[in-house]
Structure 1
């Protein structure tokens, strides 16, 4: 079996938003088991989450919420050409 590492590149905003989503799915709910039924997939998910958590200092900052929302808005604007309030989900962040 080939165990050569693969590098994935994300923008800082993408990494921050993905990290928060993974945290919500993995630790704030029981959603991971419902979303990902094959436990073999959990290994790369946990690896991604751990890597993001050790890379992103923002997750420990007191202004994490506003930083996360700003990153989400920039990503939405990049996808749709403008900020899209209708896609914002309610709920708490870390």
Structure 2
């Protein structure tokens, strides 16, 4: 790992829920755009979305919505 890199570890559920949120916020126009102060912030979020997309197979599943729902429930401690 290079000194200028940061490595984060996420559970698969965390990665899936975060990916879904990032994807949704990128789809929003004015509401989210008001929160971005600099183009670099938007770029960092896009890069994170791309990194998650490379690791996850769930977004390409026909059951994606259900998989996200289950991951959210597990993160809330509502399921195993």
Is the TM value for this pair above 0.5?
Answer: yes
2:7 maps to 7
1:35 maps to 35
TM-score using structure 1 length? 0.72
Question: Superposed, which structure 2 residues align to 1:57-72 within 5 Å?
Answer: 57-72=57-72
Q: Residue 35 of structure 1 aligns to a residue in which SS? A: coil
| C-alpha distance in structure 2 between counterparts of 1:49 and 1:24, whole Å | 11
CA offsets, 1:70-89, max 9 Å, x none?
00000011xxxxx3xxxxxx
Q: Residue 72 of structure 1 aligns to a residue in which SS? A: helix
Specify every segment of 5 or more residues in structure 2 that has no aligned partner in the other structure, as ranges. none
Higher normalized contact order (CA 8 Å, seq sep 6+, divided by chain length): 2
Q: Paired residues, what number?
A: 75
TM-score using structure 2 length? 0.84
Specify every segment of 5 or more residues in structure 1 that has no aligned partner in the other structure, as ranges. 78-82, 84-94
Question: Superposed, which structure 2 residues align to 1:19-58 within 5 Å?
Answer: 19-27=19-27, 29-30=28-29, 31-58=31-58
Once superposed, which parts of structure 1, at least 4 consecutive aligned residues long, lie more than 2 Å away?
Answer: none
